[in-house]
Structure 1
Amino acid sequence: MRSTALLIFLVVSVSRATSLTISAPVKRSTSSDVAELSETTIVLFSETQKFVESMKDNADSLLTIYLSFQGAPLSDPEYHLPEVKVDNLPTAAMDNATFLNQTDEIRLKNNLYFYSAIVQFLQVAMTEQEDLNPAEESLKAKFQEAMANINTLISKISAIMTQMGMSVTVTFPDPLVVPYEGSAIFKQKLRGGVICKEYKERVLLTKRDFEFFAKKYHEQLIQQQEQEE
């Protein structure tokens, strides 16, 4: 309820904060890292928060459906994916102190990097499944939906960063996705599961990121409106 209320406030506040100038340069407070956002940027934050919330169901179901088609033990309901390192795969793991201490730019760029990378890993996992489970169109559709969602999110985050005067350049290792070597099909299936799991967990973290932004700039708008009255 709290995040929903904050989101509603952002939308309502945009219509009231008429003194915000869309083309104004971003100013940053050296003490609190709170940018003075334009009306356009506030709308982008609000739209992106809602979009991330809509991504959660697909991210949850992609992992569930993926595992269900891999056979035992991966398809067993009580099976838990082990902590397996996949070269260059970005991780959603983050402690609370790191989460709270990020600047806006780092928070946004971490998201931009993750999704720009994970979409390539998901593409590889989908291609592998076309060989391993060629008849499972529902699984392929889930991958395609996830990648379409990610590309939309990348576009939205890039737009926010551009509005805030931030660079949207992302640099990856070459190659980013290291070709799988070996004939162990189980390890190949396991890698795909780890990729889907990281995607699911990052969507949850991104949802938390944009709830954080909503709270942060919700408070800024209150201060701005009090100064105008």
Structure 2
Amino acid sequence: MEQKENRVVLRGTVAGEALFSHRVHNIDFYRFPLAVPRLSGREDLLNILSPLTPEESFLPQKGDFVEVVGEVRSFNNRSGVGNRLVITVLARRLSPGLGEPCNQVFLRGALCKPPILRRTPLGRDICDLLLAVNRRYRRADYLPCIAWGALVLRCGRMETGTPLRVDGRLQSRTYLKTIGEDTQERTAFEISISSLASLDPGTPEAAALF
């Protein structure tokens, strides 16, 4: 079942072999990287988790152009290795891709931390948000979002708990992290916001987020 609060549509090229991840309720899940080009010519390399069932038996090969429809998921990495917050895309529907590359994310959630205003090394103002998006069974995904340009000041004034509708794209970003005397290259994933709207707290749409 697709969640109204959390929907992602991707079309891109499978960038690596699909590898077995785990099994839940006799359903095998496979992971593979998906490369989705940006208009700038760069690529976002996104982690896809796809179930393989008798009804959904399509397992892509490296180099295939595919469409993924699903949800953006998060979980805490307690291993101590790599990022503490791991972001992946759970594929609800996986099929051969038709048309142009696509990267669209649609979220409804609540701001769960105070916004953080900062400036990039190139002098660009940005605002970091963390959105809590409900999942079934009283769980939630905590998804980092980033606002640019005219949205920065507006986002910076928002209060924790504000219900929001966010449209954007899921992007990957590499950075260097220093741990003791070692420097490691890591990859962060975040939703780059293209449009944002505050939801009226009195509406059923906003009430469903709490």
| Smaller-chain TM-score bracket | under 0.3
TM-score norm. by structure 1 comes to 0.21
Looking at both structures, which has the greater relative contact order when contacts are Cα pairs under 8 Å and sequence separation is at least 6?
Answer: 1
Structure having the higher Rg? 1
TM-score norm. by structure 2 comes to 0.23
Structure number with higher helix proportion: 1
